[in-house]
Amino acid sequence: MRKISVIVPVYNAEKYIKKCIESILAQTLKDIEIICMDDGSTDGSGEILDTFALKDSRVRVAHRQNAGYGAAMNAGMDMAEGEFIGIVESDDRIAGDMYETLYNAARQYRLDMVKADAYYWMEKADYLSSKHVNDLEPYYNKVLQDTDRNTFFRFFMNIWTGIYRRDFLQRNNIRFQETKGASYQDNGFWLQTCMYAERAMWIDRPFYYYRQDNPEASVRSTEKMMAMIKEYEYIETLLRQRGDEKFLPYCCTYRLIRARGTFYRIADDYKRAFCSQLISDYKNYKAYIKDNVTIDNWFREIVKNPDEVCSQIIDKKNEIRRKLETHENIIIYGAGKRGDHVFRCLYNEGYYDKTACFAVSENPSEGILAGKRILKIDDAVKKYPKALVIVAVIRGSRMYLQMTKRLSELGINEYSDGSDIEESFYIL
């Protein structure tokens, strides 16, 4: 028995698959198998995978007719012979000691699953940003059990930063939905593992490089309006069939949270039509978010006047885009968490090249962030006098007031709020 079976679902990933497989083969834990599920690729992905299989016996390739992500993943799990299952997406890569670290923890603490942090990764921008949940610091590196289950759902939602004991998955019949052409089928797998794991751990180190610059990634799709809804309907039905209604609050809460995300992700032309689904879901599931004031208030505004909410959001986005287009450059004033959010949004919207630099109020301790220089704000506005300055901190905070005051002293009275960008655009 191999220690870990790593499943790699592949569909038309020839631009990325070589680095992905090389990173898995370079693991310090050698006793692994790599199961590559070629789901009907029409580019050169299949040939690249076959070349790897000829060179290393640990690589197994299954070429299939296209049946969708969920079907490919289930078939890969059926082929797996390892003690644990790992998952790596075909456009991502992993650190060399990822599986050795996870496996040792899983064995030492008898875990059903063990996960870790991840990097947001943009290769073109030489960008890495660790996804770490600071509020959960007391829960990292500890065995978490049923009394901690609510905490499971507060960590970064993903299926690929960890490993799962194979007999745990089999015992609980944890599978993927197999609807062809669907997206977001990782949501159901994530929910099930968090619902059923009896012993779990999150390690406070990032090993997984989660690519943000693949234009074909499903999270970038502005279509598939109902895909997320269908995934949560599937899980709700599954729980009811199993008699596991005790887990419904998790499913129904995240159904609403993810529906809100879908609203921002889809094209503006679809937003008004999607509001009908949002109103229906809020009517049926609002009790599950009664303590989440931010989400509850957002849905209440949709219910009261969906046309007005859609118009306000679309108008705000168009206003921001006009400013971005009419200025020669962009300065992101703030190099912390909010600056990171603004940068990722600008990158996703195609404004990376137009972004001139990051700026801070004092002399910076570091010189480069995401391929862009970090300058003192005084120097930034001198160097780029025709740039749009985006104040990338929480609107109305003490820091915001200090930064806008500094801009006024520098003669900059027209600027944009990073909060407007975070409230108007879908940020990966």
With bands split at pLDDT 50, 70 and 90, how would you rate the model's confidence at 124? confident
Residue 223 has pLDDT above 90, yes or no: no
Residue 216 has pLDDT above 90, yes or no: no
Do the first three CATH levels of 4-215 and 320-424 match, i.e. the same topology?
Answer: no
**9: part of which helix (H) or strand (E)?**
strand 4-10
φ/ψ of 96, rounded to 5, equals -65, -30
Share of the chain above pLDDT 90, in %: 91
Mean pLDDT of 246-263: 97
Per-residue pLDDT, 126: 87
Which 3 state secondary structure label does DSSP give 200?
A: strand
Per-residue pLDDT, 219: 56
> What's the CA gap between 2 and 84, in Å, rounded?
8
Torsion 211-214-220-226 (CA) sign = negative
pLDDT tens, residue by residue, 53-75:
999 999 999 999 999 999 999 99
Residue 102 has pLDDT above 60, yes or no: yes
Q: Which candidate, 307, 252, 303, places its Cα nearest to that of 279?
A: 303
Half-sphere exposure of 419 (CA within 13 A, CB side): 6
- Residue 157 tokens, joined: 């939602």
Is residue 365 packed enough to be buried (19+ CB in 10 Å), middle (13-18) or exposed (0-12)?
exposed
Residue 240 has pLDDT above 80, yes or no: yes
- The CATH classification number of 4-215 equals 3.90.550.10
> What's the CA gap between 161 and 116, in Å, rounded?
6
Per-residue pLDDT, 1: 84
CATH number for 320-424 (one of 3.40.50.720, 3.40.50.300, 3.40.50.20, 3.90.1010.10): it is 3.40.50.20
- Where helices occur in 6-68 by DSSP H, the ranges are 17-25, 45-55
pLDDT tens, residue by residue, 379-428:
999 999 999 999 999 999 999 999 999 999 999 999 999 999 988 988 87
Domain residues of the chain, as ranges?
A: 4-215, 227-304, 320-424
